[in-house]
A and B are shown apart, each in its own frame.
Chain A
Amino acid sequence: MSYLEYNVKHVPTGLRKVLHLNWALLLLITAVAGVGFLMLYSVAGGSFRPWAEPQMKRYALGVFVMLFVAMVPIWFWRSISGFAYLVTLVLLVLVEVMGSVGMGAQRWIDLGFMRLQPSELMKITLVMSLAAYYDWLPTEKTSKPLWVLIPVLLIIIPTMLVLRQPDLGTSILLLTGGAIVMFLAGVHWGYFAAVISMVVGLVVAVFQSRGTDWQLLKNYQYRRIDTFLDPSSDPLGAGYHITQSKIALGSGGWTGRGFMQGTQSRLNFLPEKHTDFIFTTLAEEFGYVGAVSLLSLYALIVVFCIASAISNKDRYSSLLILGIAGAFFLFFAVNMSMVMGLAPVVGVPLPLVSYGGSAMLVLMVGFGLVQSAHVHRPR
């Protein structure tokens, strides 16, 4: 579709755009981020330092970035989708080649003022490029094998690069996120059935390859899987995360121990209490009520995005919104499954709540795109 096909006359211009933002969505996002500040304040033992204060600054920056992205017309973003994907891919290769080594995994490029994680960025640009691809592709070709292969490659290449870093969590997110966009675009059911059988095959291969020369995963990833399957086997070693996390969750009860009264996190029994496992602190201190409330906030964000996508007649916008919503869903679904002992500990943070700059900014860019699509929707 060309620029002219949008009914430009009805699209708000200038500062009037601000009035047309999806304010409910912004409010929900802020509420979730607020929960994050509260928990970071709590796990620091009732202090804004070292986590809550930087997180708030980052969120403020994030809101600014989101508004900026939202103000730029959606057709501009569509036009640079392919380019953004390519740039991100190059960056991914770059971290592979010359990225700084940290924590046993090469994941970022040091830009001086911040550490850029291309894999985080890829979550957005992959969705953008797929949305743009299916917007461009005539619908009758959607399920043709050749035209299916192209998006599959678009997904697989960055996924493999991320997996090599190695970052299992993000690669799962990329793979599933990409698949969601393809599903929404209307690719035939059969392909998904094929892919699912392939995944099952891959899982079998992963387990079969263990201990051989062509072992597909790192040993620590295998150990994580083992611990996931039987956390009690090593309660002080590899299973420690999950065991302690479940203890924290479980000891919360209905209404929890009260703000800043969580013994598991305050006494450092919880590992990564300010990042991947922050949900457990919430569940411990605010109980079932608190945990379900956060889950509901997330659900509302997803619901608002879906509603916004369905009401948007522009195909690129719809796909983009749904893709970002899907990625967002995967984020918290994987994280929560992880801390509840339903999924292996793969290192996925809780979106908007966990402490961390790169993930927060990328999410805000994503929501900026959702807002831009909302503001500039055809009327």
Chain B
Amino acid sequence: MRAKSPTEVTEVHGRLSRRALLLGGTMLAFMTGLGFRMRHLQLDQADQYRLLAEENRINIRLIPPARGEIFDRNGIVLARNEPSYRVTLVPEDAGDVDAVIDKLATLVELDPNELDRAVTEMRRSPPFLPVTIADRVSWDELSRVAVNTPSLPGITPEVGLSRYYPLRGDLAHVLGYVGPVSDYDLSKIDNPDQLLRIPRFQIGKVGLEGRMEDDLRGVAGTKRVEVNAVGRIMRELDRREGEQGDDIQLTIDQSLQSYAQARLGEESAAAVVMDCETGDLLAVASAPTFDPNLFVEGISVADYGELTGDDHRPLAAKSVQGTYPPGSTFKMITALAALEEGIIGFDDTVYCPGHMEISNRRFHCWKRGGHGQMNLVQALRESCDVYFYDIALQVGIDKMSEVAARFGIGEKFDLPLSGVARGLNPSREWKNSVRGEDWVVGDTANASIGQGFVLASPLQLAVMTARLATGKAVPPRLVKSINGVEQPIAEAPPLDISPTHLAEVQRGMYAVSNHRRGTAYSKRIIADEYRMAGKTGTSQVRNITAAERARGVTRNEDLPWNRRDHGLFVNYAPFDNPKIAVAVVVEHGSGSKAATPIGRDITLQALYGGTPPLSAYPTKDRNSIEKQQEELEKLVPGREITRRNRA
């Protein structure tokens, strides 16, 4: 290799230096470019990007308000909120979902049904949304999960509030229940509250919970939280508290309600107890009943199937939704219509041969042999059908219908309950417009004894009885106060019925229960201060056919259950100073004898404010009543019930 001359070296190095400077210049130019780009991003567009960063970082979360609680008239809790612990899983964070669930299963007892539901939900929803894996876990289980969260990716133990009905079935039909918001619920609401978008938020579905949802729900609070890229909350920035829902106090008396429910037992029956003066509904029972707590977190298909498959229809609120032909309990209306119209006097009598021919058809009295000569009080006392056929044909359906309306038959009462029934107070116009047929005298005869077209709910019968007792148009009332504000008791206008006419009908009702020949005499009250006035009723579901009679079926009890007659009993007490009105309907109870003792027992329970002394009962009943009282006391809840804590 030859040596390079110094000039050559200098020349070569010079070229290198020139190119090095050129390169350096290019580099610096590029860096300047980067500087300008940075300037553009960081200064010119700073506001825009800062906003984006805030949007990234800050999330607004809703704080669900505590739902209003429901109390009875004495402050006993009927519906409250309990802390509910659940475990949720975010599939995205979990990675291997099955492995995480397997691990979780060693800490918490997982319900296979719940798990199936969760897996389906996971498939449908985006992977970053939490899915409830275990609901209503115990505090111990929750703690175990909380301690182990580092090894359970995607699992979060959560604390929320869940509805709880301490009385279980005892007031299920009035309270209704809450349940997780469904797509169907949302579709019914035009501009849904943001709260309803919270997964599994509990919304009132039926009953009071459903009808008074707006009062009970409250207003959501909000909190601004800082979240990280995966949505985990890092800290709370600020919060605006919501408003908790309004507490609602009902007119219901829990102890009476529980007693009534227990007394109805497994019969398919309903009972309504109303305060005669104020219209306060003290008990609204429907049997058989169900546990509304089953619905709170979403009912299982098996449980729901069991409830809907039962021919005694436990889900139906028979006391307000069920309508029945009132049968003989309607006879007071017929009597008052005739008295007001001046057709009959108190002592006018009708001869009952056991039947009556009306337009070539034979209408029977329940007593085939006939009652003989009957005046008004006697006809009510012994429930003579022929007497009422006779006076009804004279007074006509128009007057009867008008009087019935005054007593609340066919009126839809404005109560915050689901499906409050209107019933049916038939008239010529009704039959013409709805059925396209003319009213015939046979219809009037049927209506006179509460058969045919007439339909009334147990609630309406209780209202009717209260009005009979007071002579005032007492409306029923269920809500006593909202958030501590007492709801007004509606002024009860007079019924515009002659007091002497009313007194005569009341005498007839008194005789039903207290005269030796009265239809409810055997189930009377003998405590003098609590004597009751009432009326029994039997409403036919169908007639016993000739073929059945030939087979030897003469007694109603021999028929299949769902073809037997309904039993009804209405009463008020005490007779001298009416305090409560009671209506009882026992579906397919084979006549009034199923309803009368229930009405009597509930009346006594209400008047004594607890278990009545045996001395209030007729002597021959006392042994069986004593046994019955012991049985029922076991059924009525006591320990679990908590009183409202007034701060």
- Chain A contact residues, CB within 8 Å of chain B: 139, 180, 183-186, 244, 246-254, 263-264, 267-269, 283-284, 287-288, 291-292, 295, 298-299, 302-303, 306, 309-310, 313, 315, 318-319, 322, 326, 329, 333, 336-337, 340, 342
Q: Are A251 and B37 in contact (CB under 8 A)?
A: no
**A residues near B8, Cβ cutoff 8 Å:** 139
Docked Cα-Cα span, A13 to B293, in Å, equals: 91
Name B30's closest neighbour in chain A (CB-CB): A333
Q: Report the minimal beta-carbon distance from A210 to chain B, rounded to whole angstroms.
A: 28
Q: Are A319 and B39 in contact (CB under 8 A)?
A: no
Q: Which of B15, B31, B37 contacts A340 (CB 8 A)?
A: B37
**A residues near B21, Cβ cutoff 8 Å:** 306, 310
Q: In B5-36, which residues have CB < 8 Å from any A CB? A: 8-9, 12-13, 15-17, 19-21, 23-24, 27-28, 30-31, 34-35
Q: Are B24 and A306 in contact (CB under 8 A)?
A: yes
Q: Are B42 and A250 in contact (CB under 8 A)?
A: yes
Does B45 lie at the interface of the complex (its beta carbon under 8 Å from any beta carbon of A)? yes
Q: Are A248 and B19 in contact (CB under 8 A)?
A: no
**B residues near A319, Cβ cutoff 8 Å:** 16
Q: Which of A264, A299, A313, A322 contacts B31 (CB 8 A)?
A: A299
Q: Are A249 and B41 in contact (CB under 8 A)?
A: yes
Docked Cα-Cα span, A247 to B51, in Å, equals: 9
Q: Which of A139, A184, A337, A342 contacts B23 (CB 8 A)?
A: A184
Does B227 lie at the interface of the complex (its beta carbon under 8 Å from any beta carbon of A)? yes
Q: Which of B20, B30, B52 contacts A306 (CB 8 A)?
A: B20
Does B38 lie at the interface of the complex (its beta carbon under 8 Å from any beta carbon of A)? yes
Q: Are A292 and B17 in contact (CB under 8 A)?
A: no
List the 3 shortest-distance A-B pairs measured between CB atoms, nearest first: A250-B49, A251-B53, A267-B228
Q: Are A329 and B27 in contact (CB under 8 A)?
A: yes
Q: Are B42 and A283 in contact (CB under 8 A)?
A: yes
Chain A interface mostly: helix
**A residues near B28, Cβ cutoff 8 Å:** 299, 302-303
Does B226 lie at the interface of the complex (its beta carbon under 8 Å from any beta carbon of A)? yes
What is the total number of residues of chain B having a CB less than 8 Å from a CB of chain A?
40
Q: Report the minimal beta-carbon distance from A241 to chain B, rounded to whole angstroms.
A: 12
**B residues near A249, Cβ cutoff 8 Å:** 38, 41-42, 49
Q: Are B53 and A247 in contact (CB under 8 A)?
A: yes
**A residues near B41, Cβ cutoff 8 Å:** 246, 249-250, 340
Does B517 lie at the interface of the complex (its beta carbon under 8 Å from any beta carbon of A)? no
Q: Are A251 and B13 in contact (CB under 8 A)?
A: no
Does B229 lie at the interface of the complex (its beta carbon under 8 Å from any beta carbon of A)? yes
Given A249-B49, A269-B56 in contact, is the A303-B226 Cβ separation under 8 Å?
A: no
Q: Are B46 and A251 in contact (CB under 8 A)?
A: yes
Docked Cα-Cα span, A319 to B12, in Å, equals: 12
| Total cross-chain contacts (CB, 8 A) | 133
**B residues near A337, Cβ cutoff 8 Å:** 34
Docked Cα-Cα span, A257 to B260, in Å, equals: 69
Docked Cα-Cα span, A249 to B37, in Å, equals: 11
Q: Are B13 and A313 in contact (CB under 8 A)?
A: yes
Q: Report the minimal beta-carbon distance from A309 to chain B, rounded to whole angstroms.
A: 6
Q: A269-B57, A269-B229 given; name 9 further pairs at CB < 8 Å.
A: A247-B53, A248-B53, A250-B45, A250-B50, A250-B53, A269-B228, A292-B38, A309-B20, A340-B41
Q: Are A246 and B229 in contact (CB under 8 A)?
A: no
Q: Are A268 and B229 in contact (CB under 8 A)?
A: yes
Q: Are B19 and A183 in contact (CB under 8 A)?
A: yes
Chain B interface mostly: helix
Q: Are B19 and A186 in contact (CB under 8 A)?
A: yes
Docked Cα-Cα span, A283 to B34, in Å, equals: 13
Would you list 23 pairs from A and B whose C-beta atoms are within 8 A, ordered by A residue? A183-B23, A184-B20, A186-B12, A250-B45, A250-B50, A251-B46, A251-B50, A253-B43, A253-B46, A254-B42, A254-B46, A263-B56, A264-B56, A267-B228, A287-B42, A288-B38, A298-B31, A306-B23, A310-B20, A318-B20, A322-B23, A333-B34, A340-B38
Q: Which of A253, A298, A333 contacts B42 (CB 8 A)?
A: A253
Q: In B361-384, which residues have CB < 8 Å from any A CB? A: none
Q: Report the minimal beta-carbon distance from B362 to chain A, rounded to whole angstroms.
A: 84
Name A342's closest neighbour in chain B (CB-CB): B37
Docked Cα-Cα span, A306 to B229, in Å, equals: 43
Q: Report the minimal beta-carbon distance from B490 to chain A, rounded to whole angstroms.
A: 59
Docked Cα-Cα span, A313 to B230, in Å, equals: 57
**A residues near B38, Cβ cutoff 8 Å:** 249, 283, 288, 291-292, 295, 340
Max chain B Cβ within 10 angstroms of own Cβ: one of A251, A254, A268, A333? A251
Docked Cα-Cα span, A58 to B255, in Å, equals: 79
**B residues near A269, Cβ cutoff 8 Å:** 56-57, 228-229
Q: Report the minimal beta-carbon distance from B26 to chain A, rounded to whole angstroms.
A: 9
Q: Report the minimal beta-carbon distance from B505 to chain A, rounded to whole angstroms.
A: 78
Docked Cα-Cα span, A244 to B54, in Å, equals: 12
**B residues near A302, Cβ cutoff 8 Å:** 24, 27-28
Given A251-B49, A251-B53, A269-B228 in contact, is the A180-B23 Cβ separation under 8 Å?
A: yes
**B residues near A186, Cβ cutoff 8 Å:** 12, 15-16, 19
**B residues near A248, Cβ cutoff 8 Å:** 53
Docked Cα-Cα span, A106 to B15, in Å, equals: 41
Q: Are B34 and A184 in contact (CB under 8 A)?
A: no
Does B147 lie at the interface of the complex (its beta carbon under 8 Å from any beta carbon of A)? no
Does B234 lie at the interface of the complex (its beta carbon under 8 Å from any beta carbon of A)? yes
Docked Cα-Cα span, A283 to B40, in Å, equals: 13
**B residues near A184, Cβ cutoff 8 Å:** 16, 19-20, 23
Q: In B512-571, which residues have CB < 8 Å from any A CB? A: none
Residue-wise interface mask of B (49-65) relative to A, using a CB-CB cutoff of 8 A (1 in contact, 0 not): 11011101100000000
**B residues near A310, Cβ cutoff 8 Å:** 16-17, 20-21
**A residues near B50, Cβ cutoff 8 Å:** 250-251, 253
Q: Report the minimal beta-carbon distance from A31 to chain B, rounded to whole angstroms.
A: 17
Name A2's closest neighbour in chain B (CB-CB): B1
Does B394 lie at the interface of the complex (its beta carbon under 8 Å from any beta carbon of A)? no
Docked Cα-Cα span, A264 to B227, in Å, equals: 10
Residue-wise interface mask of B (408-436) relative to A, using a CB-CB cutoff of 8 A (1 in contact, 0 not): 00000000000000000000000000000
Docked Cα-Cα span, A78 to B241, in Å, equals: 74
Docked Cα-Cα span, A292 to B110, in Å, equals: 57
Residue-wise interface mask of B (239-259) relative to A, using a CB-CB cutoff of 8 A (1 in contact, 0 not): 000000000000000000000
Max chain B Cβ within 10 angstroms of own Cβ: one of A247, A288, A318? A247
Q: Are B13 and A263 in contact (CB under 8 A)?
A: no
